[in-house]
Amino acid sequence: MRDHLDPLKPGRKGMVLFGLAGSGKTQLALKFVQVFGNRYSAIIWINASSSPQLSQSLTEAADFIKASLWPSKDHPNTYYGKETAKIVTPRLRSTVHNRWLLVIDSVDDIESTDFRNLIPECKHGSTIITSTRRTAAELFEAVGFSSRDIDSLDDLSATQLLLASSSPLVGASNQNFAAYHEEPGKIARELYGIPLALEQAGALIRKRIVSLESFVERYRTHYKALMAKRPARGATSYEKGHSVLSVMSLLFLSIQNESPESAHLLVVLTVLSLRKIPLSLLKETYVAVTVGQTGN
């Protein structure tokens, strides 16, 4: 990935990281920026998880460029329109500072938006795309990008992540603990090494909602109950996806038992997704839930 996106290489460079939700695509992109960011003249991160987020993210990137935070002494921007969000692509296409890195995160709704329009037609620059869709990888492969399937962690790395999540002190103080402790390894394999599922499982263990020794049995029981109400065909990727659903469902049940109000709030936030949420809406929801529980 480092070599493929090397800003010193000629031509336009791009890589698509695709895989199951929770497999660590965004984390890998973030880590790449943290480690190799100083090799690039500018870094622009676009959140494409929804149309409102995409628009907001492009506007923020345009504001970044207009606020003179973009390196000075450059060509004039070739876009003279009034739509702020459309400043970004022309700026990247025509610039002296051509060692830029563009990250477009969560390119999933490829039916509604042609994300290829966000990639400048030029012979410079590096781009990272993250997506849960294999078809997104195929879409960008057609314009010369490479792709990488982010599947899961190896057994040792998955076990270490579980240990670090379930007990930070254990994970940090004894890296060899994973080598001879059987239960974490069993859990890691049961969850297919998916980072998000492992971190959530670690949270359940750390909060003493379920023990390390009983996790696999509890998980399998809950998995069977959850999968009895199978989602519509095409709603999930493949079998590994159900491990995330099962662990998240276990977490939600624990929240529901401890604080029903928090569970209601979580449902509301899930429906609203990443949009800006008016405080008045939360107040109205709280009042409605409270009245419903008291019967007044």
Check residue 112 and give its pLDDT.
Answer: 87
Is the Cβ–Cβ distance between 101 and 37 less than 8 Å? yes
pLDDT at 173 over 60: no
In a domain, 271, yes or no: no
Q: pLDDT band at 291, cuts 50/70/90?
A: low
Is the Cβ–Cβ distance between 96 and 75 less than 8 Å? yes
> Per the structure, how many domains does the chain have?
2
In a domain, 175, yes or no: yes
- Which two tokens mark 238? 């493949």
Strand partners, 111: none
Sequential DSSP letters for 37-103: GGGSSEEEEEE-SSHHHHHHHHHHHHHHIIIIIS-SS-PPPS--SS-GGGGHHHHHHS-S---EEEE
| Residues 13-72: tens digit of each pLDDT | 999 999 877 777 888 899 899 999 999 998 999 999 888 889 999 999 888 887 765 655
Residues spanned by the domain of 206: 155-258
Indicate if 18 and 143 belong to the same structural domain: yes
Indicate if 85 and 30 belong to the same structural domain: yes
Indicate if 113 and 178 belong to the same structural domain: no
What is the rounded average pLDDT for all residues in the chain? 78
pLDDT at 184 over 80: yes
Is the Cβ–Cβ distance between 79 and 66 less than 8 Å? no
Indicate if 133 and 183 belong to the same structural domain: no
At which residue do the structure tokens 């003249």 appear? 41
| Residues 104-140: tens digit of each pLDDT | 999 988 888 999 999 999 999 999 999 988 899 999 9
Q: What is the CATH number of the domain that holds 33?
A: 3.40.50.300
At which residue do the structure tokens 């009042």 appear? 287
Nearest to 243 by CA among 229, 222, 257: 222
In a domain, 268, yes or no: no
Instruction: Compare 180 and 210 and report the one with higher pLDDT.
Output: 210
In a domain, 200, yes or no: yes
Angular region, 24: left φ>0, alpha ψ -120 to 50, beta rest: left
In a domain, 4, yes or no: no
Q: pLDDT band at 240, cuts 50/70/90?
A: very low
Indicate if 101 and 76 belong to the same structural domain: yes
Looking at mean pLDDT, say which of 47-51, 165-169, 243-247 comes out highest. Answer: 47-51
Q: pLDDT band at 145, cuts 50/70/90?
A: very high
In a domain, 7, yes or no: no
Indicate if 93 and 173 belong to the same structural domain: no
Indicate if 143 and 180 belong to the same structural domain: no
Indicate if 83 and 205 belong to the same structural domain: no
Indicate if 41 and 145 belong to the same structural domain: yes
Indicate if 91 and 179 belong to the same structural domain: no
Indicate if 132 and 19 belong to the same structural domain: yes
Indicate if 144 and 160 belong to the same structural domain: no
Sequential DSSP letters for 196-222: HHHHHHHHHHHTTSS-TTTHHHHHHHH
Check residue 202 and give its pLDDT.
Answer: 86
- Of 149, 182, 207, which one is at a domain's C-terminal end? 149
Check residue 216 and give its pLDDT.
Answer: 86
- Of 113, 128, 149, which one is at a domain's C-terminal end? 149
Q: What are phi and psi of 197, to 5 degrees?
A: -65, -40
- Of 130, 149, 168, which one is at a domain's C-terminal end? 149
Separation between Cα atoms, residue 50 and residue 52, nearest integer Å: 6
